[in-house]
Structure 1
Amino acid sequence: MSKEANIFILDANVTMNAPYPPTGNDGVEDSSSSSTTTTRLVQARDAALDAIVDRMWKSKSNEAGVVVLRAGATHHHLSELEAIEDDVDLGRFFRRCGGGAHLDGYAAGEDDDDVVAYPNIVEFELDRPSPRTLRSMRAVRCTINESMASYVRGDLCDGLILAADALHRRTSGKKYRRRIVMITDAEHEVEVDGERLQFVLGELNKMEVELIVLGIGFEEDSSIGIKDEESDGGYDRAEDELLANPEIVPSMDCKKPEAVVSMEDDVNGGMLIKEEEGNPDEIVDDVKQENSVRVEFIKRENEKLLRSIAREIGGRILAANGANLTELLRSRLPNVSGLTNSMGKKIDFRIAPDLALVVKSAKLTSQQNLPTTVKEAYQFDPRTGEKLRDGNGELMTLPTRTQTDHFDDDGNPVPYDKRTDAFRYGSDLIPVGNMDMLGINAAFADPGSIEMIGYIDREVVESSNLLMGPAYAFTGGESRKSRTAIAALSQALEETCMVGYCRVVRTRNGEPKIGALVPKTIGRDDGGGAGGQDAREGGGRFLAFLELPFADDLQPTIDRRVPLEYRGDDEEERACDDLIDSMMLPDEFRSEAISFPALAAYRRMVAAFAMNPMNAVEEMQAEGLTEERILEASQARPICDFDVVKSVHKRSSRHIDAFLDAFPLVEHKPEDDKKRKFWGDGKC
């Protein structure tokens, strides 16, 4: 299933305006987080947008939707209200109604709960997102205030039911990978219809929907997998009965703790505090304490409800206690743009004369390049000469193409049928026709094969530093004999410390490559183990192909040896050794966890321009963008922000200072800048 359908449920309750990461009592940001303090809702919105934009890069067929809870208006596929027309109007609604302002025009007709289904929920419908939809999503904010929070509806259960119905309508009976992501602090009251909720959970199980809950302020043990056969996940087994019997599903109608018994509900759903005798300041403190206890009770019950739901459908709850929500969501919903799906191709493996079998070949690594830009021309009004704009106010363009003309000695254009291709050879051009090229390709006509030439000592190949990428994996085919033969050959190469020297043609009429087959083991460490124990404990064996260069590819190098060897004293040698030891990567480090920084910056830049089109006339009329504008849009994640680099820097900072003390840096300036021949000369 290559297509994805993701629905993000964002809790827009007034409590989501709290600062995040949380601050201490003195207002100082928690030292456990390195991100800038924003609000819970801003980080939740940015995390959802990051995942949506990444899926848009991966495939144009991926679909996404957003459900905003406890909004001041009702706009979704089950509502008949027409207060909001489209996505553009949705963005205008959020920008205009922040903090509860100007909600009167959108709340008309919502007083009758029998008419309005799931009130106070706003939905961006599940579909292929466009830049216009992303701009409206970025405007999501809290549209209510403290005075409205007591009677505004649209709780967690309503949002989950609405998202499940949207997935069913859009993807039922189709091949999709379905996912619901809920980001909430669970600090608002929930009205639970146990029978309806149980039916919805059954439908989610049928559609194989994955539920991911990012719980802000949840208990840490709730981040353990819900349906985990290896452990209980640290939950109370009494919670299993919550969904088995709808009557005991946690609800805010249940008995409240003694600390909040003095609170009563009025007819409008608000809270009335009983008047008590005593010091007014003490009464206010008691009320604040009671409200705080009540919020904690609501949060605890909602967390139990979400954990029960997640366990019922095999979801997962991730506890967010200061961690960046975007990075936390990536841990469960990793970036997929820029990745390629390796499909196994069947090719012949000729191990020896009269000994061949069919194996599968797939890429292990591939080179990633920045996508090429598409040049387009502005459309102008033929009468006024001004640039044309569409209904959204965006500039209208047309694709362009490049045409190359050739002329003979007399200046006449050469017809296309009179042209021929040529290869440069020295100072001349050698014409090569189509029949010649077909003959060259026919010489390598092969549907794909591996031909073993011989065997080389593994240490000789690895120490020569001549192995090149990309790497390919060769595994056994569909037959059991093929898989056994590959595993046996890999084990034999491992035990004899040898590698296979072979000729590989992966595709039909492809270019032949000479390289080495290196034995690899997939064990519990998911890496190339050194022995057979990992393979016996559930792993497997395969062969990895790495290309070797030809003799003409090698360029002679100049041996630049230092004339006088200098080892330094004991302190300097110790400083070098300690620095190297402190900067060793951990054993569990995986290089594929770090994405291509330039490609990530490119995606961020294009996404930023799509969500924030340039409004300034001067920038639109300019031929290019300013450097400040590009840097602001890309916001490339520097390499120092990755967890591995952070841990290495923290561990080696003391040893780096000791190394700098032992070997102080001295800046050398060139005597004459005019003598520099290269751009890097004269720089330290």
Structure 2
Amino acid sequence: MNRPYPRATSTRDTASNTTTTRLDCAKQIVTTMVSDLMLESSANEVCVLVLKTRETSHHKLAAAGCDLDEEQMDASVPFPNLTDLTNHGVTKPSADLLRKIQNVQSVSEQEASALRGDVCDGLILAADALYERTHGKKYQRQIVILTDAEHDIVVEDSQTLLVVDALRAMDCRLQVVGFDFLLSASYEQPMEASSLSLNTNAPKPAKTEPDTVSTKRLKKSTDYDSSETEDEDGFATCTQKTELDRNDPGQILYSTKEDREQLLSSLAEKTGGDVMAVSTLRQILQVDKGRSLKKATKRKIELRIAPGIVLPVRSLKMLSKETTLGMKKTAVIGTNKSDTYSTAGNDKAEMDDVRNVYMFVDPDHKDDVVEPQETIKAVRYGSDLIPMSSYDYEGLKSSANYIPYLEILGYTSRAAIPLVALIGPPYALSGSDSRKACAAISALAKSLEQLDRVAICTYMKTKGGDPILGGLFPLSEPQFKHAARLMFLQLPFAGDMKQLG
């Protein structure tokens, strides 16, 4: 990870031609990912592992009861030369974690070759931390590996396959960001369970795409030198044997960069993940900038084009406004008001969340307190209050069987709608899995584009909600010659427009 990337291409000013290393790029990517998770939701949690470190510090050490002293480290220490920056497994990110990421320093290439804690060890430890924190809970899980695959990888065959099975059971995708990898690949679905095996005799990445990887199992020879074996189908495999093969026949050594890239691509394929090959600063900076949205984020709605023509479509919000996290009130009981306290607690102070407690009194007898179980909810109707039970109140709000719809009212010229009247955010409409809906939306979008027209429509998002007035515009995309999808933008009512004097 010490290989530099030049920031400037001009040789006129060599003094300002500073460089950045692969590790600097990796730290920038991780910092961006963690920062985005912190801004998206306060419920997001992360675990950041650093491979091939001099020290060993992670959540499994405390569970195993091992000493952290490096001089006394022996074979009983689980996952040596791995450092968990949170030191507690998967937990909520903080500003202190971002500072730790920026302070990460790499060891020399010679020292890194002698240290343990390779990519597979990190993957196993990350999967273990993910399982301990999210087992039996509803989480969106993902493991991201940033590596240059420059060092040997020793794989415990059966153990790695167990980890892959666990990731598949948790619906956890594996994303590999490979510095100077040869090829990128994306796998929409995990590999079938019947095809799971670690493959090392697949064609090299320079000759084939990773999604055409063979799944033949490596056969190990009995000597220690480089040898050639042949499997039951007649595929020749060149294997470099080392002393570790004599001790454990279940271990496989990946000693070339091509084999290591192929291994990571195979692991990503088994979990339905992807491999991103980055070799320039521009590509590195684009990592995690555009997120692929899953099908579940596209809302099902009905598109009512005309009486009797109703199509099931999906709407997707194309642009969201990010907001900063709100402040949380905390009650602190301490002896010194000048002390500062953190949410993690303080030895000198007792901390607790601030809670609101409501008390109800009888309007005719101010001194009589009404217990919560003696109250009932009511809905205001004019000047009266209509009491309703909890069952009736929930039924009034229920929208389980309600399907949002978008109904076209008519068409107008594009020039009749000024730009100042367009209100965001935009929603994209697609036909999803219905070929009939895709054809109808594509035909409508192409017609609106050719005639320079806009469809005026109303959008009912919720049951009992106010209709949203908007327009359907053809969505221009660079991969299509003509518009193939529609875009919905809200429009104001006539009374909402203000005239400039």
TM-score by length of structure 1 reads: 0.47
Distance 1:131 1:187 in 2: 31
| Aligned residue in 2 for 1:120 | 81
| Aligned residue runs from structure 1 range 575-654, under 5 A | none
Distance 2:465 2:476 in 1: 29
- Are the structure 2 counterparts of residues 495 and 166 from structure 1 closer, same or farther at C-alpha, using a change threshold of 3 Å? same
Letter in 1 for 2:321: Q
Q: Share of identical aligned residues, percent?
A: 27
Question: Which residue among 422, 425, 429 is the counterpart of 1:468?
Answer: 422
Letter in 1 for 2:278: A
- Are the structure 2 counterparts of residues 477 and 190 from structure 1 closer, same or farther at C-alpha, using a change threshold of 3 Å? closer
Letter in 2 for 1:469: I
Letter in 2 for 1:368: K
Distance 1:496 1:309 in 2: 50
| Aligned residue in 2 for 1:189 | 152
Partner SS, residue 180 of structure 1: strand
Distance 1:170 1:81 in 2: 20
Contact 1:223 1:317 in 2 (8 A): yes
Unaligned runs of 5+ residues in structure 2 are 190-202, 228-241, 244-254, 356-379, 386-398
Question: Which residue among 197, 204, 217 is the counterpart of 1:245?
Answer: 217
Query: Are 1:547 and 2:460 matched, yes or no?
Result: no
Partner SS, residue 54 of structure 1: helix
- Are the structure 2 counterparts of residues 144 and 343 from structure 1 closer, same or farther at C-alpha, using a change threshold of 3 Å? same
- Are the structure 2 counterparts of residues 327 and 143 from structure 1 closer, same or farther at C-alpha, using a change threshold of 3 Å? closer
What's the CA shift string for 1:161-214, capped at 9, x where partnerless?
Answer: 322333344445654433222222333333333343344344444544433323
Deviation at 1:373, TM superposition (A): 5.6
Deviation at 1:158, TM superposition (A): 1.9
Letter in 2 for 1:223: S
Contact 2:146 2:177 in 1 (8 A): yes
| Aligned residue runs from structure 1 range 298-337, under 5 A | 298-323=256-281, 327-331=285-289
Deviation at 1:45, TM superposition (A): 2.5
- Are the structure 2 counterparts of residues 367 and 334 from structure 1 closer, same or farther at C-alpha, using a change threshold of 3 Å? closer
Letter in 1 for 2:499: Q
| Aligned residue in 1 for 2:175 | 212
Deviation at 1:51, TM superposition (A): 0.6
Count of aligned pairs = 414
Deviation at 1:236, TM superposition (A): 3.9
Contact 1:377 1:400 in 2 (8 A): yes
Deviation at 1:362, TM superposition (A): 4.3
Deviation at 1:131, TM superposition (A): 1.7
Distance 2:443 2:141 in 1: 40
Contact 2:146 2:176 in 1 (8 A): yes
Distance 1:324 1:29 in 2: 21
Contact 2:147 2:178 in 1 (8 A): yes
| Aligned residue in 1 for 2:50 | 68
RMSD of the TM alignment (CA)? 5.5
What's the CA shift string for 1:333-363, capped at 9, x where partnerless?
Answer: 5799xxx95634568x5845xx585866846
| Aligned residue runs from structure 1 range 123-522, under 5 A | 123=84, 124=86, 125-131=88-94, 134-135=97-98, 137-138=100-101, 141-142=104-105, 144=107, 148-149=111-112, 151-172=114-135, 174-219=137-182, 222-225=183-186, 235-236=206-207, 244-247=216-219, 255=226, 298-323=256-281, 327-331=285-289, 343-345=299-301, 349=304, 351=306, 357=310, 362=315, 364=317, 368=321, 370-371=323-324, 374=327, 384-390=336-342, 391=345, 435=382, 453-456=409-412, 458-462=413-417, 464-465=418-419, 467-470=421-424, 471-472=426-427, 498-502=453-457, 505-518=460-473, 520=474
TM-score by length of structure 2 reads: 0.61
Contact 1:64 1:128 in 2 (8 A): yes
Partner SS, residue 159 of structure 2: helix
- Are the structure 2 counterparts of residues 234 and 550 from structure 1 closer, same or farther at C-alpha, using a change threshold of 3 Å? same
Query: Are 1:59 and 2:41 matched, yes or no?
Result: yes
Contact 2:333 2:349 in 1 (8 A): no
Contact 2:460 2:468 in 1 (8 A): yes
| Aligned residue runs from structure 1 range 663-678, under 5 A | none
Letter in 1 for 2:119: L
Deviation at 1:42, TM superposition (A): 3.3
Deviation at 1:134, TM superposition (A): 1.2
What's the CA shift string for 1:96-150, capped at 9, x where partnerless?
Answer: xxxxxxxxxx314323x2x223322223454232326615632653475577445
- Are the structure 2 counterparts of residues 120 and 374 from structure 1 closer, same or farther at C-alpha, using a change threshold of 3 Å? closer
What's the CA shift string for 1:384-422, capped at 9, x where partnerless?
Answer: 552353556999999999xxxxxxxxxxxxxxxxxxxxx
Deviation at 1:46, TM superposition (A): 2.9
| Aligned residue in 1 for 2:234 | none
Distance 1:233 1:145 in 2: 29
* Structure with the higher helix share, 1 or 2: 1
What's the CA shift string for 1:353-377, capped at 9, x where partnerless?
Answer: xx58586684645673654864869
| Aligned residue in 2 for 1:40 | 22
Letter in 2 for 1:62: N
Distance 1:316 1:207 in 2: 17
Partner SS, residue 114 of structure 2: coil
* Structure with the higher strand share, 1 or 2: 2
Tell which structure's C-alpha radius of gyration is larger: 1
Letter in 1 for 2:422: M
Deviation at 1:323, TM superposition (A): 1.4
Partner SS, residue 329 of structure 1: coil
Deviation at 1:83, TM superposition (A): 3.9
Contact 1:157 1:190 in 2 (8 A): yes
Distance 2:471 2:443 in 1: 17
Contact 2:47 2:90 in 1 (8 A): yes
Contact 1:21 1:37 in 2 (8 A): yes
Question: Which residue among 98, 110, 119 is the counterpart of 2:73?
Answer: 110
Partner SS, residue 157 of structure 1: helix
Contact 1:46 1:326 in 2 (8 A): no
Contact 1:22 1:29 in 2 (8 A): no
Contact 2:318 2:428 in 1 (8 A): no
Partner SS, residue 145 of structure 2: strand
What's the CA shift string for 1:202-247, capped at 9, x where partnerless?
Answer: 444454443332333433xx2354789xxx9954469988863244
- Are the structure 2 counterparts of residues 62 and 335 from structure 1 closer, same or farther at C-alpha, using a change threshold of 3 Å? farther
Deviation at 1:468, TM superposition (A): 1.6
Contact 1:215 1:318 in 2 (8 A): yes
Distance 2:273 2:450 in 1: 43
Contact 1:50 1:326 in 2 (8 A): no
Letter in 2 for 1:468: L
| Aligned residue runs from structure 1 range 515-534, under 5 A | 515-518=470-473, 520=474, 525=479, 529-530=482-483
What's the CA shift string for 1:586-634, capped at 9, x where partnerless?
Answer: xxxxxxxxxxxxxxxxxxxxxxxxxxxxxxxxxxxxxxxxxxxxxxxxx
Distance 1:350 1:227 in 2: 33
